[in-house]
A and B are shown apart, each in its own frame.
Chain A
Amino acid sequence: MTDEMTWINQAQQGDDEAFTNLVETYQKPVYNLCYRMLGEPESAEDAAQETFLKVYQNLARYDRERSFATWLLSIAAHHCIDKLRRRRFPSISIDEDEEGQTDLPDRSAPDPELETAKRQERERLHYCLQSLDPTDRAAVIMRYWQDCSEVEIAQALKLTVPAVKSRLHRARRALADLWDEKPAHVRTERKPYGSPAF
């Protein structure tokens, strides 16, 4: 039996330490999914925490025939999709990069300009991603960030495999259209004290 299955068994019997091990192991993929889905670190942190709480409460219902990671990501994706549907206005923050650092070029890197260009490209992709339909976005994130197969994505998002393929095609086409028209490093959030007059 793998460590993961042992932890799941122990957590199902009420062992909180075993569940903490699962949180430790899966915090990054779950947080990443939430961050890519919601676009903001604060909302992503909240959604990731809520996902783990939901998993904790529903662990008894986990079907051992399925992959735990897929089940977990499915809960995270549905949580984020629900949150996005409740949201009235999209909110995107690109002030921080993936590692939670400020948007300044890394001068210690071998080629700071290249690093900056790469970061700007990631920010541009992050921006474009926020324009997709929530389910398409979840499919793209699971495919490219989490390396999930189309079958796993279909299971997680309760879709058929052809539907996943079609959504991935459509999403990539939409991303390319946005990529073509939007300039790099687009900031959509105005600071609360910001004004065009200044």
Chain B
Amino acid sequence: MDHRPFEDWLLDNQPLTTDQKRLLNTHLRTCSSCTALVEVNLALNSVKLAAPSTGFTDRFQVRLSAKKQAIRQRNFWGFVVLSLSVLGLFAWVSWPVFRILIQSPVNLLASWISSLVSFWASLQAIFRAGMVLFKVVPGFVPAYIWAVILFAAGGWSLVWVVSFMKFTKYPQGA
């Protein structure tokens, strides 16, 4: 008889009939491979649980405490690094504003007054230059140039008004 069914019987762990058992016993006398399978089955079915050495739970508690301590330390240092990073970034972004704020009030006031004075002086200079031009320029320009300028300005204004009226008129029958 072929070796295969015996191996399948042994691997499947199915209950065998009396005839099957007899055939199997006969086969086992000549087949070392199937005998080894039977021995392995017997060994596997009589195994014992290995136990840890005494004090496993105590050792676990020690390890758990150490782990918790390590996690606490990691969290603390993580918080420190994150806080320092955020502060550094904030300082870097706000440095231009901060630099002005940390100047002394006298310097700040002097800077503001200086800016106002310079602005006022610029306005006065522009006003004076305008007055000079207003007094001087009419004497250099002949009367007919003035007439051309006025005529051109009037025509230009008329073009603007007509265009404006044409483009803002609501289209009828649309």
Are B56 and A180 in contact (CB-based, < 8 A)?
Answer: no
Are A176 and B53 in contact (CB-based, < 8 A)?
Answer: no
Are B60 and A49 in contact (CB-based, < 8 A)?
Answer: yes
* Distance to closest chain A CB from B138 (angstroms): 91
Q: Indicate which residue in B39, B41, B49, B56 contacts A98 across the interface (CB closer than 8 Å).
A: B49
Answer yes or no: B125 CB below 8 A from chain A CBs.
Answer: no
Residues of chain A lying within 8 A (CB to CB) of residue B43: 121-122, 124-125, 179
Are B45 and A144 in contact (CB-based, < 8 A)?
Answer: yes
Query: Across the two chains, which residue of chain B brings its CB closest to A170?
Result: B11
Are B37 and A31 in contact (CB-based, < 8 A)?
Answer: no
Residues of chain B lying within 8 A (CB to CB) of residue A32: 49-51
Answer yes or no: B47 CB below 8 A from chain A CBs.
Answer: yes
Are B50 and A98 in contact (CB-based, < 8 A)?
Answer: yes
* Distance to closest chain B CB from A165 (angstroms): 9
Are B44 and A144 in contact (CB-based, < 8 A)?
Answer: yes
Query: Across the two chains, which residue of chain A brings its CB closest to B12?
Result: A169
Residues of chain B lying within 8 A (CB to CB) of residue A53: 60, 63-64, 67
Are B64 and A36 in contact (CB-based, < 8 A)?
Answer: no
Residues of chain B lying within 8 A (CB to CB) of residue A23: 56-57, 60
Query: Across the two chains, which residue of chain B brings its CB closest to A20?
Result: B57
* Distance to closest chain B CB from A125 (angstroms): 5
Interface of B is mostly: helix
Give B10-30 interface residues, CB cut-off 8 Å to A: 11
Are A28 and B49 in contact (CB-based, < 8 A)?
Answer: yes
Total number of A-B contacts with CB less than 8 angstroms?
100
Q: A44-B50, A53-B64 are in contact. Are A27 and B56 (CB under 8 A)?
A: yes
Residues of chain B lying within 8 A (CB to CB) of residue A169: 11
Category for how many chain B residues contact A: 20 to 34
Residues of chain B lying within 8 A (CB to CB) of residue A29: 49
Give A34-80 interface residues, CB cut-off 8 Å to B: 35-36, 41, 44-45, 48-49, 52-53, 56
Answer yes or no: A15 CB below 8 A from chain B CBs.
Answer: no
Q: Indicate which residue in B7, B32, B39, B52 contacts A48 across the interface (CB closer than 8 Å).
A: B52
Are A172 and B33 in contact (CB-based, < 8 A)?
Answer: no
Query: Across the two chains, which residue of chain A brings its CB closest to B61?
Result: A20
Are B33 and A31 in contact (CB-based, < 8 A)?
Answer: no
Answer yes or no: B113 CB below 8 A from chain A CBs.
Answer: no
Answer yes or no: A183 CB below 8 A from chain B CBs.
Answer: no
Give A105-128 interface residues, CB cut-off 8 Å to B: 118, 121-122, 124-125, 128
- Known interface pairs A49-B60, A179-B40; 14 further A-B residue pairs with C-beta atoms within 8 A, sorted by A's residue number: A20-B60, A24-B57, A31-B56, A45-B52, A48-B52, A53-B63, A56-B64, A121-B43, A125-B40, A125-B47, A144-B47, A145-B47, A173-B37, A179-B43
Would you list the 8 A-B pairs with minimal beta carbon distance, nearest first? Answer: A180-B36, A176-B37, A98-B50, A31-B52, A176-B36, A35-B50, A179-B36, A144-B44
Q: List 15 A-B contacts (CB under 8 A).
A: A28-B51, A28-B52, A31-B51, A45-B53, A53-B64, A125-B40, A128-B40, A140-B44, A145-B49, A172-B44, A176-B36, A177-B36, A179-B39, A179-B40, A180-B35
